[in-house]
């Protein structure tokens, strides 16, 4: 709450008006997307439209919402957009870590009343809702194009842990388990992505985690943790306790392929509350596939306030 208030205090009245929305403005809250902001306009204000002090305060707010790992991933996803701006043949004017990322606040930051901070842009959407001493951290979209790139002499892979832990789960399956986990038909992209806020999730399918070995079950928990642990440690620990208690009611599934480089490889974890999807999707700006991923909580997206309700 303090960081949100401090950010708002850096803004002039016109900019503050662009950043601020009613907490009940459900139509605006669901405008997050994985597309570049030039293609799908965002609510709030672009980082490029803030002065240095306001931009620093905005990123300080984002940093307080996240763990060190979660904030580092925000930075690497933005770096991927900078890489596209320099190296892509298409859409270069819209890419960039400042111009393509926006921040908005829904409601008045308060220690007791609900408010939401929305930060995102190309391949990123953080929707964090605060309710007194509790927080909701979904819907949460992370992705990257390209999957890996180099800055100077440093190799950067924004989705390395999220993708790696999920592929570890499916690599561990026996032939029989893999057969049970495979979905029929083709899935081209994540199913519960932007604009899908009905609260109705696909029918549970796949192989039950309860039937996996202890080591395999730990791999599933590691994969869930790779997404949840982006949040501040106290928030993440509480959620992981819940998801662990529901592990025996959780399923894993894949479609198309379960290989790292397979075009349209689709992986998911589906529990009573946790929902995670990862897909390899064809890139428009680079020659290889890239990642789209989403994490949702079936009971607590937008702090249990459904934008479609």
- pLDDT tens readout for residues 146-170: 899 999 999 999 999 999 999 999 9
pLDDT single digits (tens) 191-243: 999 999 988 999 999 999 999 999 999 999 999 999 999 999 999 999 999 99
Q: Supply the pLDDT for residue 190.
A: 96
Longest CA–CA separation in the chain, Å: 62
What's the 3-state SS for the chain?
CHHHHHHHHCCCHHHHHHHEECCCCHHHHCCCCCCCCCCCCCCCEEHHHCCHHHHHHHHHHHHHHECHHHHHHHHHHHHHHHHHHHHCCCCCCCCCCCCCEEEEEECCCCCCCCEEEEEEECCEEEEEEEECCEEECCCEEEEECCCCEEECCEEECCCHHHHHHHHHHHHCCCHHHHHHHECCCCCCCCCCCCCCCCCCCCCCCCEEHHHCCHHHHHHHHHHHHHHHCCECHHHHHHHHHHHHHCHHHCEEEEECCCCCCCCCCEEEEECCCEEEEEEEEECCCCCCEEEEEEEEECCCHHHHCCCCC
Q: Supply the pLDDT for residue 301.
A: 94
Sign of CA dihedral 142, 143, 149, 151: negative
Q: Find all residues with CB under 8 Å of 107, minimum gap 6, and list them.
A: 21, 22, 23, 113, 114, 115, 116
Residue 36, pLDDT above cutoff 70: yes
Residue 306, pLDDT above cutoff 60: no
Residue 89, pLDDT above cutoff 90: no
pLDDT single digits (tens) 124-134: 999 999 988 88
Q: Hey, where are the domains in the chain?
A: 2-151, 159-304
């Amino acid at each position: 709450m303090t960081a949100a208030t401090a950010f708002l205090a850096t803004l002039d009245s016109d900019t503050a008006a662009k950043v601020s929305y009613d907490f009940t403005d459900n139509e605006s809250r669901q405008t997050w997307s994985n597309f570049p902001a030039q293609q799908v306009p965002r609510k709030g204000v672009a980082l490029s439209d803030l002065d240095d002090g306001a931009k620093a305060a905005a990123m300080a707010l984002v940093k307080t919402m996240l763990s060190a790992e979660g904030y580092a991933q925000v930075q690497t996803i933005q770096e991927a957009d900078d890489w596209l701006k320099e190296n892509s043949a298409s859409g270069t004017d819209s890419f960039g870590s400042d111009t393509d990322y926006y921040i908005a606040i829904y409601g008045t930051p308060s220690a007791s009343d609900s408010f939401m901070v929305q930060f995102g842009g190309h391949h990123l959407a953080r929707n964090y809702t605060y309710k007194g001493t509790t927080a909701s951290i979904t819907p949460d979209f992370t992705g990257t194009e390209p999957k890996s790139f180099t800055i100077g002499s440093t190799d950067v892979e924004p989705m390395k842990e999220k993708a790696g832990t999920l592929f570890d789960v499916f690599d561990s399956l026996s032939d029989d388990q893999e057969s049970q986990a495979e979905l029929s038909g083709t899935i081209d992209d994540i199913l519960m992505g932007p604009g899908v806020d009905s609260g109705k999730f696909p029918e549970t399918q796949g192989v039950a985690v309860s039937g996996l070995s202890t080591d395999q079950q730990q791999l599933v928990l590691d994969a869930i943790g790779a997404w949840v642990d982006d949040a501040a440690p106290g928030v993440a620990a509480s959620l992981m306790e819940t998801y662990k208690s529901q592990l025996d009611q959780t399923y894993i599934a894949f479609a198309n392929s379960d290989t790292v480089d397979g075009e349209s490889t689709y992986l998911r974890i589906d529990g009573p509350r946790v929902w995670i999807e990862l897909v390899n999707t064809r890139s428009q700006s680079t020659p290889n596939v890239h990642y789209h991923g989403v994490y949702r909580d079936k009971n607590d997206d937008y702090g249990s306030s459904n934008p479609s309700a």
